[in-house]
């Protein structure tokens, strides 16, 4: 192994320089050999504990190929991560000066990952730690206090909490209601749950046909939550591993371990309500296995299949605290807002003619129609998107939808749904709050 050879070399070097002097061998921070740190931290720099950094000397080391990475910092290109062998020199007021032998190298040939070791004289670890910290700060100026978003299942690309609240186009009363619910829970509710000796865990469900903006709404809620100092835990069931209870379990562990209030987002909750996992999810919702985070956890779940939720959960009070139906476009005002938003600078008043055709469509339909119209115009080298292009785009999308080809996404096969005919009987649910 590479690190063993590094340590051996460092020990030989030490014995040649300071025979018999005691030291501790440690895993060191790779930032100490980073060129950014070495250029920024000058000899004479004060460190914690009345200590001073007195400079660096590069050593020849047969087991290390000294090599730097090259990257951009703002507009400048600079040398960054560096493999190499060094002696770092220090002095502490009232004590003899001392030196640290340091070696960093790429761990193996396949993975470009730096590893570093250091030999620090006995009793000097605190000064060395202060130096490591200064180097880390130089390389990563904003060491983040913590992670704000935990993604369980899939990668970070699955969920991006950067959507602005104003960009979600839905009835204002619905948006206000949802936001008020979250704020009331975190500011007052948590305290009330605790007084009642209950785990502060509130559960909201966003239900609606595909493309109405549920995921977008979750992302906007997440952005607001992060701005309030809360943590977001996001569970995705749409990666290769699918919707397994194991993921929910990991999410709940993250919720419990976070020492902050948490917004827990579970997309497509219905997908977990199948097979053996069903009973366990119900236990979580019933409170038997619900997470206990004293700062409070708010679950925001989504579904396209309210009828499944309806049977298993909604009929029993307490399993879900509220169900918000996220509707398709219901009126002209809403349709115009959406169309203007997605036509952006290509908007023309004549586009108002298509408004009646947008009623009962999801937001994703309007977005696709607008994009497609703009592409049609661009294809014909036209700078203006006329009503004709928009109409043509809408017609072709409607044909596609009518042919049963759901262009928003492939619907997941649902074992629990008897007739999976496409349209979800949303009318079964009253508009916002069935319990309210």
State the residues that interact with ligand ATP by CB under 6 A: 168-170, 208, 210-216, 304, 362-364, 367, 408-409
Q: Which residue is nearest to Mg ion (CB)?
A: 215
Q: Between 210 and 261, whose beta carbon lies closer to ligand ATP?
A: 210
| Residue 291 interacting partner from Mg ion, ligand ATP, none (CB closer than 5 to 8 Å by kind) | none
| Four-residue CA torsion sign, 410, 415, 420, 426 | negative
Q: Which residue is nearest to ligand ATP (CB)?
A: 363
| Four-residue CA torsion sign, 271, 273, 276, 281 | positive
Tell me the pairing of strands 262-266 and 231-235.
parallel
Q: Between 120 and 178, whose beta carbon lies closer to Mg ion?
A: 178
State the nearest-atom distance from the C-beta of 297 to Mg ion, in Å.
21
The per-residue DSSP string of 304-365 comes to S-HHHHIIIIITSTTSSSEEEE-----SHHHHHHHHHHHHGGG--GGGGGGHHHHTT--HHH
Q: How far apart are CA 392 and CA 353, in angstroms?
A: 13
Nearest in space to 101 (alpha carbons), one of 82, 81, 87, 84: 87
| Residue 364 interacting partner from Mg ion, ligand ATP, none (CB closer than 5 to 8 Å by kind) | ligand ATP
State the nearest-atom distance from the C-beta of 137 to ligand ATP, in Å.
38
For residue 9, give Cα distances in angstroms to 127, 329, 418: 23, 70, 70
Stretch that binds Mg ion, among 174-182, 211-219, 337-345, 406-414 (CB under 5 A): 211-219
Instruction: Tell me which of 215, 290, 293, 328 binds Mg ion, using CB under 5 A.
Output: 215
Residues touching Mg ion, count (CB under 5 A)? 2
State the nearest-atom distance from the C-beta of 267 to ligand ATP, in Å.
7
Q: Between 207 and 297, whose beta carbon lies closer to Mg ion?
A: 207
| Residue 169 interacting partner from Mg ion, ligand ATP, none (CB closer than 5 to 8 Å by kind) | ligand ATP
| Four-residue CA torsion sign, 283, 284, 286, 290 | positive
Q: Between 13 and 215, whose beta carbon lies closer to Mg ion?
A: 215
State the nearest-atom distance from the C-beta of 206 to Mg ion, in Å.
9
Q: Between 130 and 149, whose beta carbon lies closer to ligand ATP?
A: 149
State the nearest-atom distance from the C-beta of 209 to Mg ion, in Å.
11
- Rounded to 10 deg, the angle between the 245-257 and 277-286 helix axes is 30
Q: What is the DSSP letter of 34?
A: -
How far the first Cα of the chain sits from its last, in Å, is: 64
Find the DSSP H helices in 26-166.
Answer: 35-40, 125-139
Q: Between 198 and 371, whose beta carbon lies closer to ligand ATP?
A: 371
Q: What are phi and psi of 45, to 5 degrees?
A: -65, 130
Q: Between 47 and 370, whose beta carbon lies closer to ligand ATP?
A: 370
| Residue 216 interacting partner from ligand ATP, Mg ion, none (CB closer than 5 to 8 Å by kind) | ligand ATP
Q: What are phi and psi of 349, to 5 degrees?
A: -60, -30
Which residues, listed in sequence order, are joined to residue 135 by a DSSP beta bridge? none
- Residues lying near Mg ion in the complex (CB under 5 A) are found at 214-215
């Amino acid at each position: 192994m590479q690190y063993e050879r590094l340590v051996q070399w460092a020990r030989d070097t030490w014995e040649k320089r300071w025979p018999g002097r005691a030291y501790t061998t440690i895993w060191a921070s790779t930032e100490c050999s980073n060129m950014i740190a070495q250029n920024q931290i000058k000899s004479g720099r004060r460190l914690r504990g009345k200590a001073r950094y007195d400079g660096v000397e590069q050593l020849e080391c047969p087991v290390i190929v000294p090599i730097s990475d090259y990257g951009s910092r703002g507009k400048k290109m600079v040398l960054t991560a560096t493999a190499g062998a060094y002696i770092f020199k220090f002095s502490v007021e009232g004590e003899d000066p001392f030196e640290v032998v340091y070696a960093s190298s790429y761990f193996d040939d396949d993975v470009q990952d730096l590893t570093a070791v250091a030999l620090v004289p006995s009793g000097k670890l605190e000064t060395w730690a202060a130096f490591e910290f200064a180097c880390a700060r130089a390389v990563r100026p904003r060491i983040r206090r913590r992670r704000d978003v935990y993604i369980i299942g899939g990668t970070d690309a699955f969920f991006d909490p950067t959507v602005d609240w104003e960009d979600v186009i839905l009835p204002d009363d619905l948006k206000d209601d949802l936001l008020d619910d979250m704020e009331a829970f975190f500011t007052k509710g948590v305290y009330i749950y605790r007084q009642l000796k209950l785990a502060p865990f509130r559960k909201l469900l966003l239900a609606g046909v595909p493309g109405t903006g549920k995921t977008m709404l979750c992302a906007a809620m997440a952005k607001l939550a992060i701005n309030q100092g809360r943590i977001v835990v996001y569970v995705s069931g749409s990666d290769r591993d699918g919707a397994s209870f194991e993921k929910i379990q990991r999410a709940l562990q993250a919720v419990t371990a976070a020492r902050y209030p948490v917004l827990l987002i579970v997309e497509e909750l219905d997908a977990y309500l199948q097979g053996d996992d069903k009973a366990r999810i119900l236990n979580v919702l019933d409170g038997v296995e619900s997470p206990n985070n004293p700062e409070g956890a708010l679950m925001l779940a989504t579904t396209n299949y309210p009828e499944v939720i309806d049977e298993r959960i909604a009929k029993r009070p307490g399993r879900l605290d509220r169900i918000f139906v996220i509707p398709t476009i219901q009126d002209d005002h809403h349709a115009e807002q959406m169309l203007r938003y997605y036509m952006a600078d290509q908007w023309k008043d004549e586009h108002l003619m298509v408004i009646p055709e947008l009623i009962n469509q999801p937001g994703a339909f309007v977005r696709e129609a607008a994009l497609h119209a703009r592409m049609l115009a661009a294809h014909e080298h036209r700078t203006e998107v006329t009503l004709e292009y928009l109409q043509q785009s809408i017609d072709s999308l409607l044909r596609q939808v009518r042919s049963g080809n759901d262009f928003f996404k492939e619907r997941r096969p649902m074992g629990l749904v008897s007739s999976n005919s496409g349209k979800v009987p949303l009318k079964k649910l009253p508009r916002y709050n069935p319990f309210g």
